[in-house]
Amino acid sequence: MGTAQMEHISSCAHIYIYIYIYLFIAK
């Protein structure tokens, strides 16, 4: 388990969260 991989997964999750919030507000 590398820290770089964990950070990558975390940043991807943040991107999806921002997209989800944006779509929720856009409605």
Q: What is the pLDDT of residue 3?
A: 77
The predicted-structure confidence for 1-27, as pLDDT tens digits, reads as follows 567 777 777 777 889 899 999 999 997
- Encoding tokens for residue 11? 């940043």
Three-state SS letters, 1-27: CCHHHHHHHHHHHHHHHHHHHHHHHHC
Backbone torsion region of residue 2, taken as left when φ is above 0, otherwise alpha when ψ lies between -120 and 50, otherwise beta: beta
Specify the pTM. Answer: 0.47
Q: How far apart are the C-alpha atoms of 22 and 1, rounded to whole Å?
A: 32
Q: What is the pLDDT of residue 6?
A: 72
Q: What is the pLDDT of residue 1?
A: 54
Q: What is the pLDDT of residue 2?
A: 64
